[in-house]
Structure 1
Amino acid sequence: MSSSNQELPSCQREWKASSASSIAGTGDDAVTVISYNILAAIHIKPRGYPFCPTGFRETLERHPQLMVELRHHDDADIVCLQEVETDYYHQTLLPELQKLGYHGVHHQKALGIREGVATFYRSERFRIEKQETGHFKDWIAEKLVGEQIDADLREAIKSRAEYETPILLTSFTCLKTGRPLTVANVHLVWQTHIVPDLNTLQAALALQRLDEFSTQDGPCIMCGDFNHQPVMPGYQLIRDGCLDNESRMHLRKFPLFSGADAKHGKESCLVDILPKWFCHSFKHFKSSYAEIQGEEPPFTCFTDNYGPQWIDAYTKHNRLDGFLEESEESSDPPTPRHFPLKVMDSSLNGSIAPPCHIQTLDYIWYTAEKLHCLGVEEVVKKEAIAPFWACPNQVFPSDHLLMKAKFAFRGL
């Protein structure tokens, strides 16, 4: 790992080692994995992320900051990224990472959304054996063919599943140990306040397909942006293998609406219609951060999509110093793009209500019976972000934070 950028806020992170490090060793056999949602610019609305200065909003503008982080973590063997724009991947990111010794695979989202997931691997360390790409909406449509359910209900389920979310599966052979390793790079549906049942089902289907795709009895890692917090059913299902009563009851609050339901005056829920779909067969699937730290990070996403409190405070701050003209005060809600940038200091940021979206949404899961987790890199402290209010900004290139874990094969 490079030390030249250690003083940058985005690189001020501590390594948290496991006691297993002394058992499994930390030498050449260790495998280091990164997962990072890098924020596709196509999702930045004109008035979104108002705290993000002009010049740091487009993907190519944030690319140098991203590369600072990836070069700092140059010990990574596998890098799983989400929200990687298709043109950016082919024209910029892949060529640059190839210079650092990586090969890559990209899978675009469905429904014409020109971003997706990308998995990079060090060619001197791993040989790719096979890959599989998919979209959860298509998998659900395929699985429904074998289900004996009402046609209206079938269409309601397909409508509920009509999101662009992707998954990329890659199977590798470790060139140092000869061991297989299968990696799933996922980006699950984000509207868990509307479709938590679909988010949970996608998590289950991802693990089912990972189990089918992986080399028999080989170790597996699943990482990405899961878009659910540790208290949500999707997380509980991944951890435990099936839904508990609390999760099941929660998901029943989000019924489908089909013609058959309207006709019979009832409500149908995914979790009751397709109960066998909400499970997976991995027996010891663990979260690397929870295993090492005893709990998940306090946040992996630190942002405020529209930041009304920030806009108000920023406007007053700049008006006092003569940065706002009277004509601008009556225009559209101000952002840094309406007048010269004057970043507020951390003490002023601290006087505003905290950003709205401080959540834990990203994870690196692994098969604990096949892999030791040797350690994880703690996320940056809130104090490192405070001077910039939230992410992205001129230092942090995404609204999410980089996740990093190190593993060793068991039985070597």
Structure 2
Amino acid sequence: MPRPHNINMIGSILYYALYPLSRYMTSRRLHAGASKKVLPPSMDNDKALCDGGAVTTRTLSQIDKLDQWLSQGSGTKGETEERMKEPSPEQEYNTLQLMAVLHETTKKEADSKITSYYPPIDSTVGFEVTWRVWEKVDESATAAEPLPFTNASMDFTVMSYNILADDLLQANQELYTHCPLEVLDWSYRCSLLLEEIQEWEPDILCLQEVQENHYHQQLYPALSQMGYTCVYKRRTGTKRDGCATCYRSSCFSEVSVATLEFFRPETELLDRHNVGIIVLLRPVVMNGSVVKAKGPPLCVANTHLLFNPRRGDVKLAQLAIMLAEINSVIKSCNAKGEHCNLILCGDFNSIPSMPLYQLITTGELYFQGLPAWMISGQKNLSHRAYGHRLCVPLWPSSLGITDRCQHTTASKEESKSESQRSGKGQYSHDFMRQLRFCPTACIRPLDLQLIPGVTNITPDASSVNQPDKSFSHTISHQLDLESVYQHVLPGFGNPEVTTLHSEGGSTVDYIFYSRRRTATWDPSAGAFAIRGLKLIGSLSLLSEDVLWSMKGLPNDIFPSDHLSLLARFQLDLNAA
């Protein structure tokens, strides 16, 4: 059995042997990135950081001193093997010298966030161990016209996080056979989760799979101490988890809250117990107890859609309910003469570029004839000969939501105003069909031959499900949303992953936002108006390969089978 100092020596040798390789890989990636027209790498202490967390470096001063120290110990292969046999007093002194060098440089730079591929050499060395880096948006790639004015602005961060409810973990243990038992323990995961939230300090926090008893007993008390105000909505049915939306009361004031239940017993399609939360906030900048400035309303929507890969029709209906409610909130702001920015977060259980994602980001989806499994694309079920296909109407009119993802009353008001503007009546197909039930049509002509079961029946409007509006083959919305993440890691093009378990990894979690557009002149305000949010940066995601190199998810760094999503935005403020 090797002696303890031999074990330490082996660890040091492995560390120093891997370091030159990491520098070589960093150089290769930076040269490869320079030859392509891609976003520039993020910078940390004037040192480029590579994609996916595969290689990040220490500060420049640490690198220079580490190189200098390693060069002193270089030699031939024989000399190296001789040094590896038994640590000499000189080698032990050099090891301590290296630790002292690193500790010295770290103390000088303790105020900055330093990321590292390697774990700390000693527990006293203040390195922040993380595999993810902060990526700034390349403004030159999306440069807009220069604004003719400069207004006060406010930066804020948003985190979306599926934290893996313990009940669901216990019910699906086959998905976590790769994990050591200790990293699956809720107490251990909860402490890591709170540490992660405290580290990044998001101003808005959208959580999914929040178990009710854990929320009330552990999460809410801790988040309250951090300065958050929280809204929680448990799933309907027997499941004990739900969604929670939290915000810093020092940055936002609450205008309204709406909680949504997607289970509708009167609608056969909507028989699943998923929920959502919509919070309308007002950004504020405080000077003591006085409001110094405030911003336009910010609508924050948080949801967790159905998982079942075969039921894309249910997911679309749940999403339509969410979008319709968001539309109502935004219209209420518009009616007061205010523009409302929007952030939509959550676990949508759909991968990028599939129809559900397309509906959110493009605002339109032609669904007629699509296989239900294809809507989310989580699993390829094309081998099934008799898969369910979508057809018109996608959901019944009794749901009260149109194919434009608006509440029926709102749609009727829009149609009425449009009719008044055009000066013409709207004689739609549905309008003509309703004539079957007018009093004249319900009177049986006297000379009509009586045929039992055919001509002796009076039309009954209540027995026929008549839509309030014609449901087309296309569903749409007008919210103009864009994803924070591009779903491909820069440099190599590897897919980003937001969730991973024993069956594989994929992207199903998103932060969508209303993107900033070119400023327009507002005659009523007598000033230029900026609408939308400016994306400043985001916390990088990882590839599936990198996550498996960390023993998958959850692990002793990331406490859930999902990664947190984090983005920084900027919005315009008006003086109060």
Distance of 1:300 and 1:63 partners within structure 2: 19
* Aligned 8 A contact 1:65 1:395 in 2: yes
TM-aligned CA distance change 1:11 to 1:81, over 3 Å? farther
Which structure has the greater CA radius of gyration?
2
Question: C-alpha displacement at 1:249, in angstroms?
Answer: 3.2
Of 281, 293, 309, which residue of structure 1 is paired with 2:477?
A: 281
* Aligned 8 A contact 1:34 1:402 in 2: yes
Matches within 5 A, 1:318-397: 356-368=503-515, 369=517, 370-382=532-544, 384-397=546-559
Aligned partner letter, 1:195:
R
Distance of 1:237 and 1:34 partners within structure 2: 23
Of 164, 172, 182, which residue of structure 2 is paired with 1:39?
A: 164
Determine the structure 2 residue equivalent to 1:290.
486
Moved more, 387-396 or 182-191: 387-396
Cα shift readout 1:51-99 (whole Å, capped 9, x = no counterpart): 221222233220111122112212x110101001111111111111112
Determine the structure 2 residue equivalent to 1:186.
303
Question: C-alpha displacement at 1:287, in angstroms?
Answer: 1.0
Cα shift readout 1:336-387 (whole Å, capped 9, x = no counterpart): xxxxxxxxxxxxxxxxxxxx32101011111124212222211135455233
* Aligned 8 A contact 2:236 2:273 in 1: yes
TM-aligned CA distance change 1:398 to 1:362, over 3 Å? same
SS of the residue 1:273 aligns to: coil
Distance of 2:304 and 2:372 partners within structure 1: 24
Matches within 5 A, 1:11-410: 11-19=131-139, 29-44=154-169, 45-74=172-201, 76-138=202-264, 158-176=267-285, 177-192=294-309, 194-214=310-330, 215-216=333-334, 217-244=339-366, 247-251=367-371, 271-274=391-394, 276-277=402-403, 279-290=475-486, 298-304=496-502, 356-368=503-515, 369=517, 370-382=532-544, 384-409=546-571
Aligned partner letter, 2:230:
G
Aligned partner letter, 2:320:
A
* Aligned 8 A contact 2:270 2:317 in 1: no
Aligned partner letter, 2:241:
E
SS of the residue 1:400 aligns to: coil
* Aligned 8 A contact 1:80 1:224 in 2: yes
Cα shift readout 1:312-357 (whole Å, capped 9, x = no counterpart): xxxxxxxxxxxxxxxxxxxxxxxxxxxxxxxxxxxxxxxxxxxx32
TM-aligned CA distance change 1:67 to 1:411, over 3 Å? closer
Distance of 1:161 and 1:390 partners within structure 2: 34
* Aligned 8 A contact 1:35 1:224 in 2: yes
Cα shift readout 1:102-158 (whole Å, capped 9, x = no counterpart): 1111100111211110011011001111111111123xx5xxxxxxxxxxxxx7xx3
SS of the residue 2:182 aligns to: coil
* Aligned 8 A contact 1:127 1:173 in 2: yes
Q: Any unmatched runs of 5+ in structure 2?
A: 1-110, 117-126, 286-293, 375-385, 396-401, 406-474, 518-531
TM-aligned CA distance change 1:231 to 1:178, over 3 Å? closer
SS of the residue 1:170 aligns to: strand
* Aligned 8 A contact 1:38 1:397 in 2: yes
- Over the aligned positions, Cα root-mean-square deviation in angstroms equals 3.4
Q: Which structure is richer in relative contact order (CA contacts within 8 A, separation 6 or more)?
A: 1
**What's the % identity of the aligned pairs?**
28
* Aligned 8 A contact 1:223 1:363 in 2: yes
* Aligned 8 A contact 2:313 2:394 in 1: no
* Aligned 8 A contact 1:32 1:405 in 2: yes
Distance of 1:280 and 1:296 partners within structure 2: 31
Distance of 2:162 and 2:371 partners within structure 1: 26
TM-aligned CA distance change 1:84 to 1:185, over 3 Å? same
Aligned partner letter, 1:184:
A
TM-aligned CA distance change 1:11 to 1:161, over 3 Å? same
TM-aligned CA distance change 1:5 to 1:85, over 3 Å? farther
Question: C-alpha displacement at 1:101, in angstroms?
Answer: 1.3
* Aligned 8 A contact 2:307 2:349 in 1: yes
Distance of 2:373 and 2:270 partners within structure 1: 17
Distance of 1:291 and 1:54 partners within structure 2: 31
Of 113, 118, 122, which residue of structure 2 is paired with 1:3?
A: 113
